[in-house]
Chains A and B, each alone.
Chain A
Amino acid sequence: MPEFFFLNRAFLLGLFAAAIPLFIHLFTRKKAKKLSFSSVEFLRDVARRESRRLRVRNLLLMILRTAVICAFVLAMARPVLRGPLVKGPGSTAAVVVLDNSASMGSLREEGTVFDNASEIAREIFGGLDDKDEGTLIPVCGIPESAALLGGGGRLVGTVGFLEQSHSSSRPDEAVKRALSLLKESKSINRELYIISDFQRNQWQKLRVSLESATGVSVVLVPVLPSRLDNLSIQNADVIPTGATSERILEFAVVNHGRRSHEGVPVKVLADGEEIASRYVDVPGAGSAAVSLELVGDFSEIKIVIPSDALPLDNVRYVALQEPKQMRVLVLGEKPLVGKTDFVSLALRPTGSATGENVWGFFPLRLDIDDLTTQHLQGVPCVVLDNVGRFSGSEIELLREHRSSGGRFLIALGDKVDIRHYNESLLPALFPARLVGIEGTEDRKGSFFSLSASIPSHPILRNFKASRGEAICEAKIYRLVRAEAMEGSRVVAEFSEGLPAVLEAEAGLLFTSSFEPGWNDLVTSGAFPALLHEMARYLCGGGALAGRDFEPGAVLEEEIPASLETPLSLLGPEGREVATSKRRLGTAVHLRSVPVDEPGLYRLTVGEEVVGTFSVNLAPSESELDPLKETELLGTFQGASVVGGDSIAEAVGGSRSGQELWPLFLVLCLGFMVAELFVARSAAPSGRDRA
């Protein structure tokens, strides 16, 4: 069936201009001047005949003029007729979307799936002539300036420059970019080749519609590994036990295939030396959990299982970080008799068997009236816990402490004198304004939930909740409505958009209370975690905790300004990773380029390692199960599936077509001549309506 489409579709908008003659014909009919005449008896017959002739002529003129415009616009839109019966090779634009995600590293008889896919891409580009154009778009790491390049030989060379990525696929982006390039192309044959392992979990959720890809022939080239059975190591975590030097390493060996594996050897290496090994049985489509005690002072863990279909996920890296001592001064009001000091309790629980401080916090509770300069010395974080009013000397002490680098966590509550805070404390410490109390203490009524305004903020990023989503189930019944001012920002919010946590250079302001009267947060499990993150952040300890990332991630951290120089980020092979730094008050925001290689990344100050990041393959990449052909055709409607072996026949087999713009131009001229003929022969006055 021949296919008809336009190369310059934007010009089709010009078809609206075809309405101009119709518009003129219908709406700009001149109102005839009235003339009193003695008798229209003699005019009647003549006029009737003439008017009929005139109407026909005007209609004909309108049609011809519309046809002139239409033919011209269509010629400009470069219509193309393509099909088996249409002779002429026509120019070709071929865009190859090459999946270079981590899963393409799975093994075939010879080389990896990615190697095979690259070869197919070369073959496709090799079929192009010099007049043709094309480009290669990787699924991971799509270049910002992807554009169609001319010449098949040149394109073959570009394939060699593409490296396999360890990141996850972004097929949506790649296909969209490819289609948009093809849409802009003026070639008659526009071809999109997608070469991939078509992992089910990545490609099934593709959200790109091919409906807009009129005139583009989509060819899917599945390249599969020789076997789909794959084991991976996932969910690795280190849990403190309460003893300073004792931790538990937990991880799982996950079977992504249906066949069960017995006696899979697992090795654990700490700081490069094997410290443990296990044999685990992994059921088909299941997993085996492994738990190991870590005794010793390690900073890096590497877990290894034997190589299988996808070697990249057979190694897992874990970064460890020793907790450091963080002193926290909690200032409250007298008396605290008969009441629980939830802040101190959360920072230093007394439940551990050994009584050792696992979390690294050393809180000290003090009445505000007893505060002296000595108490503030060497304390990086001061918590103002529901303090009603401050004397002038107390505010002066706090201001001096702020000047010397100390940071504050201000928690409000029922004792807080809002006016006093607005007039005295906040102007001295924190650029924010308190408006009034919201909510009631009646727990039967409505309540607010706590959610993140900036989910990536260091105090919130470990709560796996997206923006607007509650980070915990705690119910907040009362709070103080606060407004951020210049120099402060909202980090977390309560329902209805009320600020929950404000951040300024001086620290953090929590607008509800750390006492149970106003909420059940302090009695919920989320409270210690939130308070720990807040305190660690204010103590400048956030940067030193080891964290796990996926390839393609940007490593971001806020670190104390004192560590800024000579700070560097080193990759798995010891190569320095490019970073950018930005001053944020007393902290420095460090941001790396996207890291791709799995392994351990070390943040070093001179020779000393002050932080470690681990980068491991995304779990989704371990699933090698591909989409079946019917499923592929369901996802890419109108596409064809071609095996890698028969790509040579597929390429160029359907390349044909003829541009029709000369025909439309001739038609346009023909209509113009006809219009001139009709206009001149029928209208001696030359004054026409349309």
Chain B
Amino acid sequence: MVERLEHRERRFLDPLVVSKLSNLDLRARLVVEGFIAGLHRSPYKGFSVEFAEHRQYMPGDPIRNIDWKVFARRDRFYVKEFEEETNLRAYILVDASASMGYSSGTSVTKLHYACSLAAALTYLMLRQQDSVGLLTFTSRIKKYIPPRSAKGHLNVILTELERLLPEETTNVSKSLELLAHRIRRRGLIILFSDLMDDQASVLSAVKHFRYRKHEVIVFHLLDESEMEFPFEEELAFVDMETHEEIIASSRQIGTRYKRIIKNWTAEYRRQCHEHLVEYALLSTSTPYDVALTHYLEKRARLH
């Protein structure tokens, strides 16, 4: 029974299922709630508290919350009320270059996947009182929303994510460099990108974050077809960013292409691992909880 329930709830973590909801807010909630419901032990504990106000003791209130100093002064029972607070500043970086608009048709686009996941993380983090900022970029920085923890901030981020369309070329390294200079306080950098850029530059930029003591999670998003190359016939491949056209017999080049991609992602994984960067290679058909798990694991390590 429990398994069946879990299965039903996990269904809402499937990108294709979630993508049927047009509202990003709803999508984020669905992902997060589904994710939380699927966990056996809730990671939602709160990390720090700050005093907010006193209120009169009511029967049933925990005795440990009674402020004895006030009782001493006023001879009445008052309990302390606390406000949760966070010390995490998370920066969600979303690559919105044209290549992120790719989908083989069997799944959502990489950008759609990235936005859904970014929204879910934003929702999750804001619910935990973390500050969340957003940076969207192509070959330039398109939008930068500084991190805030206010609940209304969710809408700001979601609105921006919803507005996001794939365009222009990628320059991941440049955007990361710019952001690195802008962020002073130590924080969590969550990068959503297909990393279709010069590998050395990208890794250099990522290392730069690490140099500045930021924690970095790289969600490397690729479509299934980009990894598996399931094409068979002769095709004219048109680059979505540069519009360069290459005609090739898919069957002839498939094996070699897959080997190149494998080496390429392996290199990212290896380098990230070396520099303590969380790297997650996700296909756009990967359920969202896999990504969220990555986040939580990283989050747990931060504390």
The residues of A with any CB-CB pair to B shorter than 8 Å are 30, 32-44, 46-47, 50-51, 53-54, 684-685
With A37-B239, A38-B194 already in contact, the answer to whether A684 and B246 are too (CB < 8 A) is: no
The yes or no answer to B244 lying at the interface (CB within 8 A) is: yes
Report the bound CA distance from A34 to B246 in whole Å: 9
Given A38-B194, A684-B251: A44 and B223 interface contact (C-beta under 8 Å): no
Decide yes or no: A37 and B237 within 8 Å by CB, A42-B261, A43-B257 being known contacts: yes
On whether the beta carbons of B249 and A685 are closer than 8 Å, the reply is: yes
Given contact pairs A42-B264, A43-B246, A685-B249, A37 touches B257 in the complex (Cβ within 8 A): no
Task: Flag whether B278 is at the interface (Cβ < 8 A).
Answer: no
- 12 inter-chain pairs at a CB distance below 8 angstroms, sorted by A residue, are A32-B234, A33-B233, A36-B238, A37-B239, A38-B99, A38-B100, A39-B239, A44-B244, A50-B249, A50-B256, A51-B248, A53-B252
Q: Give Cα distance in the complex from A619 to B240, angstroms.
A: 95
Chain A residues, Cβ within 8 Å of B253: 43, 46-47, 50
A50 to B249 alpha-carbon distance, docked (Å) = 8
Most chain B beta-carbon neighbours within 10 Å: one of A38, A46, A47: A38
Shortest CB-to-CB span from B98 to chain A, Å, is 8
Q: How far is the CA of A37 from the CA of B222 in the complex (A)?
A: 12
Residues of A within 8 A of B260 (CB): 42, 46
User: Shortest Cβ distance from B194 into chain A, in angstroms?
Assistant: 6
How far is it, in angstroms, between the C-alpha of A51 and the C-alpha of B247 when the chains are bound?
Answer: 8
In the complex, what residues of B have CB within 8 A of residue A33's CB? Answer: 233-236
List, in ascending order, chain B residues with CB within 8 A of A684's CB.
Answer: 251
Q: Kindly state the separation between the CA atoms of A35 and B102 in the bound complex, as whole angstroms.
A: 10
A54 and B238: CB pair below 8 A?
Answer: no
Question: What is the chain A residue whose CB lies nearest that of B196?
Answer: A39
Q: Is B248 a contact of A35 with CB atoms below 8 Å?
A: no
Verify if B211 is at the interface (C-beta below 8 Å from A).
Answer: no
CA–CA, A40 and B100, complex, Å: 14
Query: Which A residues touch B223, using CB under 8 A?
Result: 38
Judged by a CB distance under 8 angstroms, whether B226 is at the interface is yes
CB-CB nearest in chain B for A47: B248
Is the CB–CB distance between A35 and B99 below 8 Å? no
Beyond the given pairs A38-B226, A39-B196, A40-B237, 10 more chain A to chain B contacts, judged by CB atoms under 8 angstroms and listed by A's residue number, are A32-B234, A34-B236, A35-B236, A37-B239, A38-B196, A39-B239, A40-B245, A44-B244, A54-B249, A685-B251
- Top 4 closest A-B pairs, CB basis? A47-B248, A38-B102, A38-B99, A32-B236
A488 to chain B, nearest CB (A): 76
Query: What CA separation (Å) do A54 and B244 show in the bound complex?
Result: 21
Work out how many contacts link A and B, with CB atoms closer than 8 A: 88
User: Is B232 in the interface zone, CB < 8 Å from A?
Assistant: yes
Query: What residues of chain B lie closer than 8 Å to A35, measured between beta carbons?
Result: 231, 235-238
Cβ of B241 under 8 Å from chain A? yes
- Give chain B interface residues in 191-250, CB to chain A under 8 Å: 194, 196, 223, 226, 231-242, 244-249
Q: Which residue of A lies closest to B252 (CB)?
A: A50
Q: Chain A residues with Cβ under 8 A from B234's Cβ?
A: 30, 32-33
Task: Give, as a whole number of angstroms, the nearest-CB distance from A80 to chain B.
Answer: 45
Size range of the chain B interface in the assembly:
20 to 34
Distance between Cα atoms of A652 and B193 in the complex (Å): 90
Q: Which of B99, B102, B247, B252 contacts A32 (CB 8 A)?
A: B247
When distances are taken between beta carbons in the complex, the residues of chain B under 8 Å from A54 are 249, 252
Interfacial chain A residues near B241, Cβ < 8 Å: 38-39
Which chain B residues lie closer than 8 Å to A46 at the CB level? 248, 253, 256-257, 260
The CA-CA distance from A39 to B196 in the complex, in Å, is: 7
> How far is it, in angstroms, between the C-alpha of A298 and the C-alpha of B242 when the chains are bound?
115
Contact with A along B133-171 (1 / 0, CB 8 A): 000000000000000000000000000000000000000
From DSSP, what is the main secondary structure of chain B's interface residues?
mixed
Give the nearest-CB partner of A31 in chain B: B236
Contact assessment for B238 and A34 in the assembled complex, using a CB-CB cutoff below 8 Å: yes
B209 → chain A, closest Cβ, in Å?
Answer: 24
A549 to B239, CA, bound (A): 94
Q: From A48, which residue of chain B is reached at the shortest CB distance?
A: B246
Give the residues in chain B near A43, CB-CB below 8 Å: 237, 246, 248, 253, 257
Name the B residues within 8 Å of A44 (CB-CB).
244, 246
Instruction: Name the CB-closest residue of A to B259.
Output: A46
B240 touches A36 (CB 8 A): yes
- When the two chains form their complex, are residues B247 and A36 in contact, meaning their CB atoms are under 8 A apart? no
- Complexed CA–CA distance, A30 and B247 (Å): 11
Contacting A at CB under 8 A, from B92-110, are 99-100, 102, 110
Cβ distance A11 to chain B, nearest Cβ, rounded Å: 37
Q: Shortest Cβ distance from B84 into chain A, in angstroms?
A: 41
Nearest-CB distance from B248 to chain A (Å)?
A: 4
Question: Hey, which chain B residues are within 8 Å of A47, CB to CB?
Answer: 237, 246-248, 253
In angstroms, Cα B249 to Cα A193, docked, is: 64
Of all chain B residues, the one with the shortest Cβ separation from A41 is B196
Shortest beta-carbon distance from A640 to chain B in Å: 62
Q: Is the CB of A39 within 8 A of B235?
A: no
Inter-chain contact A34/B264, CB cutoff 8 Å:
no
A43 to B257, CA, bound (A): 7
* Chain A proximity of B299: nearest CB distance (Å): 30
| B261 closest partner in A (C-beta) | A42
Whole-angstrom distance between the Cβ of A131 and the nearest chain B Cβ:
56
Measured between alpha carbons, how far is A429 from B290 in the docked complex, in Å?
117
- Bound together, the chains give a CA A41 to CA B242 distance in angstroms of 10
Residue interface mask B89-128, A partner, CB < 8 A = 1 = 0000000000110100000001000000000000000000
Residues 252-276 of B, flagged 1 when their CB comes within 8 A of A and 0 if not, give 1100110011001000000000000
Please measure, in the bound complex, the distance between the C-alpha atom of A42 and the C-alpha atom of B244, giving whole angstroms. 12
Report chain B residues within 8 Å CB of A41.
196, 239
Query: Using Cβ atoms and an 8 Å threshold, which residues of chain B touch A42?
Result: 257, 260-261, 264
Q: Which A residues are in CB contact (< 8 Å) with B236?
A: 32-35
Residue of A nearest to B232 (CB): A685
Given contacts A38-B223, A42-B257, A42-B264, contact A32 B251 (CB under 8 A): no
- Bound together, the chains give a CA A41 to CA B194 distance in angstroms of 13
Q: How near does chain A come to B179, taking the closest CB pair, in angstroms? A: 23
Complex CA–CA separation, A685 to B250 (angstroms):
10
Q: How far is A665 from B99 in the complex, measured between Cα atoms in Å?
A: 56
- Chain B residue at minimum C-beta to C-beta distance from A39: B196
Q: Which of B226, B233, B248 contacts A50 (CB 8 A)?
A: B248
Which residue on chain A has the smallest CB distance to residue B100?
A38
Which residue on chain A has the smallest CB distance to residue B247? A32
B residues near A40, Cβ cutoff 8 Å? 237-239, 242, 244-246
Bound form: Cα–Cα A47–B232 in Å = 14
Separation of A428 and B71 alpha carbons in the complex (Å)? 159
Expressed in whole angstroms, the minimum distance between the Cβ of A643 and any Cβ of chain B is 72
Shortest CB-to-CB span from A37 to chain B, Å, is 4
Contacts of B252 in A (CB 8 A): 50, 53-54
Nearest CB of chain A from residue B106's CB, rounded to whole Å: 14
Give the distance to chain A from B229, nearest Cβ to Cβ, in Å: 9
Contacts of B99 in A (CB 8 A): 38-39
Cα-based distance from A53 to B264 in the complex (angstroms) = 25
Considering the chains assembled together, what is the distance between the CA atoms of A581 and B100 in angstroms?
Answer: 101
Q: Which chain B residue shows the least CB distance to A57?
A: B252
Chain A residues closer than 8 Å to B251, beta-carbon distance: 684-685
State in angstroms the CA–CA spacing of A37 and B236 once bound together.
Answer: 9
Q: Which of A32, A54, A685 has the most CB of B within 10 A?
A: A32
Interface residues of B in 71-98 (CB under 8 A from A): none
C-alpha gap A33/B110 in the complex (Å): 23
Considering the chains assembled together, what is the distance between the CA atoms of A47 and B247 in angstroms?
A: 7
Residue in B226, B232, B249 with the greatest tally of chain A CB atoms within 10 Å = B249
CB-CB under 8 A from A50, the residues of chain B are 248-249, 252-253, 256
Q: Please name the residue on chain A nearest to B99 by beta carbon.
A: A38
* CB of A564 to closest CB in B, whole Å: 86
Max chain B C-beta neighbours (<10 A), residue from A33, A34, A37, A47: A37
> How many angstroms between the C-alpha atoms of A38 and B101 in the bound complex?
8
**Chain B residues in 8 Å Cβ range of A51:** 247-248
Known interface pairs A42-B264, A46-B260, A50-B248; A34-B235 also in contact (CB < 8 Å): yes
